[in-house]
Amino acid sequence: MSQTPKKSAEQPVPTSTDVARLAGVSRATVSYVLNNTSAVRISEPTRRRVREAAEELGYVPHAAARSLRAGHTRIVLLPTAHIPVGPLYGQFFNELHWALRNLDYTVVQYGSLGLSGDEAARAWAELRPVAVVSLGEITLTARGVSLLKRSGAKAVITMGPQRVEGAHSLVMDQREVGIAAARHLMERGRRRIGAVLPEEPGLELFSKPRLAGLRKAVSGTGARVEPLGMRYDEESAAALAARWRDLDLDAVFAYNDEYAQLLMRALQDAGVDVPGETAVMGADDLLMGKLLRPSLSTVHMELPPGRFLADLVDRLVAHPADRAENHDLMGAHAVPRESS
Amino acid sequence: MSQTPKKSAEQPVPTSTDVARLAGVSRATVSYVLNNTSAVRISEPTRRRVREAAEELGYVPHAAARSLRAGHTRIVLLPTAHIPVGPLYGQFFNELHWALRNLDYTVVQYGSLGLSGDEAARAWAELRPVAVVSLGEITLTARGVSLLKRSGAKAVITMGPQRVEGAHSLVMDQREVGIAAARHLMERGRRRIGAVLPEEPGLELFSKPRLAGLRKAVSGTGARVEPLGMRYDEESAAALAARWRDLDLDAVFAYNDEYAQLLMRALQDAGVDVPGETAVMGADDLLMGKLLRPSLSTVHMELPPGRFLADLVDRLVAHPADRAENHDLMGAHAVPRESS
DNA sequence: TTGAAAGCGTTACCAC
DNA sequence: GTGGTAACGCTTTCAA
């Protein structure tokens, strides 16, 4: 067997030097032309030669080299342990992504699996992002924020259940969801409230505060809250429904509308009357909930428009705040429908 | 008013030079210690001094500088006009993201709004990704692929309705979905099939081939297909349902399960019997569909596990293929339930 | 109008 | 064992 000859000769990536050589000018001139530097006048014939050479070679500037020289990037880092699957967050993410792109930022979604807190912050800092928008799946500490800022981040924004020192925190307390749900159910006279906790990993950051909210709202009222594990599949829902009567509950808050729909169906199939025997309540106010019979009571939660967040990033990048501000931005309110 | 004094003195980001100075060693030594370079023996006291200095300064290596020096990145670029909102793709994205992270790649989601084809490819190439996985929202051309490869991409993978020359194409022909739906409906004796087309922008890449599949399957059978615009909201669905009898249809393929659910409810509310008068069929096989009454017939579509795609990327990066392979990887089959 | 050269932060080769 | 030095690709100041 003959050796395979080096196929594509591992052709090197064309650089501005190559363009300069082909166009018969210096690298500086190439840079001027390609960046339309206004401070310098270059003759039209030269411009054309440079552009043609770049085109011919398929030259594309090297972002890393550029930002190394510039001393800063336009990277906005969005850490995501996982993209929350719900349509609510999906939409929010899309909006934010789009809005940042429109402001000419490069959005980097950095999956930080397994990394916790400060480790993650270190990993992010390597990219020298000009801003970090953490959606609360990773718990950022004051140390982490400080590390990021020292490595050049002008804006560190957190959206999560608690403020983080040094960061611009948008406090979105998921407990409010639980509180709104519990209040609504109690107003309807329910006193024995089940709380569905998803058994899928990664949802605790939402489910636990929601449970805490329930507990807080019922404390001292004599009502009680009963945590109930459930997976998002029919078997798990059916198993829970099968032992429903033993649980002796007259209401259930099902974490979100999707779990609520699943459980409500399982309850109905098991002969439990909704809402007569048990009230069911979801959260997130998905369109779906209106379509069910009985229609699903839920908790509506206002997320800021992605556009708002993108503008905030842009403002902070332009004028890094002396002191981080904090906003509480979650209004959660019950949306009563037929299931409760 | 007095001028605000320079607050934080714009403290510069610490570099390996700073670490070296503080530890009293050379930059080379710092690099050796921090990267655990095995080819070189460094005394334990020196190592400790270096590490402590790095810790104290909050030093974090600069990824851009590193990759500039290394001549390559570990960036896998995922172009996304928008993240498709459906849970199907959401899950796929998450899996892929996670799997790539596990293989030590940096995942960059690059939103390419407005940019079309080659422009987008150019923008992506600036980041010098080692691989690009395009999910078919942006139409990549042979030129674009070539540009990416010339700028160092070892793997260019497309998942979409058609092969792309030079790229490793996973052909996922959405027409199969329409074909499976039409066949199923015709087997059930339906001949006058409505086809819901979402009016939301950005879904054409899926909806049009699905429609084309319907048309292909009915051609020559005497059955007919009627395109119907609809938005994903109750008003739009109600409006469509209100003129349903005028349309004289005995079946409808509703683009996906979410639109199907919405339309089915509207039809029921308008007094149209499902499936007696009109059969309803969705696509994507969401859990939701099983919970509805009548349960929703759908088209199940196999997406490759994110893990599979990540491994493919890794393999191609290690051994760039001489010739791009193409796979057809979509099996779509009808899942009959009560609504048809 | 164009070119030479310095410097961004890193790593790897080669002396000491 | 450790340290100097060159090089990665780019922009920009300064000089011609």
pLDDT tens digits, one per residue of A49-96: 999 999 999 999 999 999 999 999 999 999 886 655 566 777 788 889
Nucleotides of D under 7 A from a protein CB: 1-13
Nucleic strand D near CB of residue A41 (< 7 Å)? no
Tokens of B125: 């190439």
Nucleic strand C near CB of residue A70 (< 7 Å)? no
Q: What are the CB-based long-range contacts (under 8 Å, 24+) for B52-56?
A: B52/B23, B53/B19, B53/B20, B53/B22, B53/B23, B54/B19, B54/B23, B54/B30, B56/B22
How many whole angstroms separate alpha carbon B254 and alpha carbon B271?
18
Identify which has the larger pLDDT, A266 or B83. A266
Contact: B146, A58; criterion CB under 8 Å: yes
Contact partners, residue B42, CB within 8 Å, separation at least 6: B29, B32, B33
Output DSSP code: residue A137. S
How many whole angstroms separate alpha carbon B235 and alpha carbon B263?
10
Q: Which of A115-119, A211-215, A235-239 has the lowest mean pLDDT?
A: A115-119
Q: Is B143 on the interface with A (CB under 8 A)?
A: no
Residue-wise pLDDT for B79-135, tens only, equals 886 655 566 777 788 889 889 999 999 998 887 777 778 889 999 999 999 999 998
Tokens of B247: 């349309």
Residue-wise pLDDT for B315-336, tens only, equals 999 998 767 777 777 789 999 9
* Among A337, A246, A263, A250, residue whose Cα is nearest residue A295: A337
How many whole angstroms separate alpha carbon B189 and alpha carbon A294?
32
pLDDT band at A2 (very low <50, low <70, confident <90, very high): very low
Contact: B113, A122; criterion CB under 8 Å: no
Domain boundaries in chain B? 16-61, 75-172+304-330, 175-302
How many whole angstroms separate alpha carbon B185 and alpha carbon B190?
5
Contact B23, B49 (CB under 8 A): yes
Question: Left if phi > 0, otherwise alpha if psi is -120 to 50, otherwise beta: which for B123?
Answer: alpha
Residue-wise pLDDT for A290-314, tens only, equals 999 999 999 998 888 999 999 999 9
CA of A23 to C1' of D12 (A): 21
Burial class (CB in 10 A: 0-12, 13-18, 19+), A205: middle
Contact: A94, B102; criterion CB under 8 Å: no
CA of B205 to C1' of C10 (A): 43
CA of A27 to C1' of C3 (A): 9
Contact partners, residue B40, CB within 8 Å, separation at least 6: B32
Residue B76 above 80 pLDDT? yes
For the CA atoms of B305, B306, B308, B311, the dihedral, rounded to the nearest 10 degrees, stands at -170
Output DSSP code: residue B282. -
Of the candidates A83, A106, A291, the beta carbon closest to that of B93 is on A83
Contact B311, B236 (CB under 8 A): no
Nucleic strand D near CB of residue B41 (< 7 Å)? yes
Nucleotide whose C1' lies closest to the alpha carbon of residue B29: D2
Contact: A85, B90; criterion CB under 8 Å: yes
Burial class (CB in 10 A: 0-12, 13-18, 19+), A331: exposed
Partners of residue A293 in chain B, C-beta under 8 Å: 293
Q: Which CATH superfamily is domain A16-61 in?
A: lambda repressor-like DNA-binding domains (1.10.260.40)
Chain B: residue whose CA lies nearest to A150:
B13
Partners of residue A122 in chain B, C-beta under 8 Å: 60
How many whole angstroms separate alpha carbon A205 and alpha carbon B48?
37
Tokens of B260: 């199907």
User: Position B53: which residue type?
Assistant: A
Q: How far is B88 from chain A (nearest CA, A)?
A: 9
Contact A247, A270 (CB under 8 A): no
Contact: A64, B98; criterion CB under 8 Å: no
Nucleotide whose C1' lies closest to the alpha carbon of residue B32: C11
Residue-wise pLDDT for B125-178, tens only, equals 999 999 999 987 677 899 999 999 999 999 999 988 888 999 999 888 889 999
Of the candidates A64, A94, A127, the beta carbon closest to that of B82 is on A94
User: Position A229: which residue type?
Assistant: G
Protein residue nearest nucleotide C1, by CA to C1': A42
Nucleic strand C near CB of residue A46 (< 7 Å)? yes
Residue A263 above 50 pLDDT? yes
User: Candidates 3.40.50.2300, 3.90.1200.10, 3.10.20.30, 3.40.50.300; correct CATH number of B175-302?
Assistant: 3.40.50.2300
Contact: A98, B82; criterion CB under 8 Å: yes
The CATH architecture annotation of domain A75-172+304-330 reads 3-Layer(aba) Sandwich (3.40)
Residue-wise pLDDT for B9-54, tens only, equals 457 899 999 999 999 999 999 999 998 887 777 888 889 999 999 9
Mean pLDDT value across chain A: 90
User: Position B307: which residue type?
Assistant: R
Q: Is B82 on the interface with A (CB under 8 A)?
A: yes
Q: Which of B59-63, B92-96, B264-268, B282-286 has the lowest mean pLDDT?
A: B92-96
Same fold, A16-61 and A175-302: no
Residue B338 above 70 pLDDT? yes
